[in-house]
Amino acid sequence: MKSSFTFLLLMSGAVMNTQPAQEASLLYPYGPGQNDHKNPKLDDGTSKELSLSVPFTFYGKEYQTLYVNNNGVVSFGTEVRQYTPDPFPLVDGHSFVAPYWGDVDNVLGGDVFYRETTDPALLKLITQDLNQYFPKIPFTATWAFVATWDHVAYYGSTSDKGNTFQATLTTDTKTSFVILNYKDIQWTTGTASGGDPETGLGGTPAHVGPESSTLDSPQAGFNNGDETNYYNIPGSHTEAVINITKTSNVNIPGRWVFQVDDFKVTGVPTEVPQVAGSKNCWL
């Protein structure tokens, strides 16, 4: 029983990449070739507590450690094993980034990678991206932490569906950003949260926000553990979250970027993206 507390085309013998170049490069480099660490194959598992070489400021507070949780959460101060996401705000004192908080089961498929890095090539790329998105904020990245969920399965899956997404934390020691990348989202809900074992869809969708405590669709956003400091990405905690690969606040489909030292939201729509057929890139 799960704990109550605990995101090709083969033709004529040739493999062809049908993804647009922009989508193919959406994720920052990750995996064994980048000397990433990998979480254990464990349902509702987490990394060990990871010490950071530099503090990361989130909602005005500096953190020296974090956890990478299999269920699509990077948390500060405590691990998160809960598999059915609760709507924000959560007033339990726990601070975390939720790129795609849902019922991941990497035993059934996929891997969860992470690394802390000062690689000059990656920091240059991150700096270029952030200078493009926030031209009025002087910023040169000096540190980054990259966590990637690579084709991870959902609990109770009888399919080969997998979600691939990434959270990158970065700072220049004064200003901090979180970059959320969504390359491929194929499921929303594990069977323990009411999802269908073949499709990974279903459960009880709900509106974004704190209206109910019985919602099962994945949560994407930020929570500082109090009543006022939180943010839900539009479509989060509803069936529309599966379209997060098509939405953005920086005009790059599948990418959401936020300044988080003194949390600011820019370029965000006031409406929830539609469940089907929407190709809008929110600005």
User: If we measure between CA atoms, which residue out of 153, 163, 159, 36 comes closest to residue 106?
Assistant: 153
Let me know if residue 271 belongs to a domain. no
* CA distance readout (Å), 7 to 108, 175, 187, 232: 14, 26, 9, 15
Let me know if residue 268 belongs to a domain. no
Let me know if residue 117 belongs to a domain. yes
Over pLDDT 70: what percentage of the chain? 81
141, 123 contact by CB (below 8 A): yes
The confidence score (pLDDT) of residue 2 equals: 60
If you average pLDDT over residues 184-200, what whole number do you get? Answer: 94
pLDDT digits (tens, 9 = 90+) for 143-154: 999 999 999 999
- pLDDT greater than 60 at residue 273: no
Domain count, the chain: 1
Over pLDDT 90: what percentage of the chain? 65
The confidence score (pLDDT) of residue 6 equals: 34
Q: Alpha-carbon distance 250 to 271, whole Å?
A: 16
Which phi and psi angles does 281 have, rounded to 5°?
-110, 100
- pLDDT greater than 80 at residue 47: yes
Q: Which domain holds residue 138?
A: 9-259
Let me know if residue 44 belongs to a domain. yes
- 161's tokens: 């569906």
**β-strands 176-184, 219-223 pairing:** unpaired
The CA-based angle 51-144-66, given to 5 degrees, is 30
Let me know if residue 22 belongs to a domain. yes
Let me know if residue 49 belongs to a domain. yes
Read off the pLDDT band of 52 (50, 70, 90). very high
If you average pLDDT over residues 128-132, what whole number do you get? Answer: 98
User: If we measure between CA atoms, which residue out of 122, 101, 141, 49 comes closest to residue 223?
Assistant: 101
Q: Alpha-carbon distance 55 to 68, whole Å?
A: 16
The one-letter code for the residue type at 41 is: K
If you average pLDDT over residues 195-210, what whole number do you get? Answer: 64
112, 74 contact by CB (below 8 A): no
Let me know if residue 236 belongs to a domain. yes
The confidence score (pLDDT) of residue 206 equals: 23
Mean pLDDT (the chain) is 83
If you average pLDDT over residues 217-244, what whole number do you get? Answer: 88
The confidence score (pLDDT) of residue 133 equals: 97
The CA-based angle 210-211-216, given to 5 degrees, is 80
Let me know if residue 229 belongs to a domain. yes
User: If we measure between CA atoms, which residue out of 256, 262, 245 comes closest to residue 273?
Assistant: 245
pLDDT digits (tens, 9 = 90+) for 118-128: 999 999 999 99
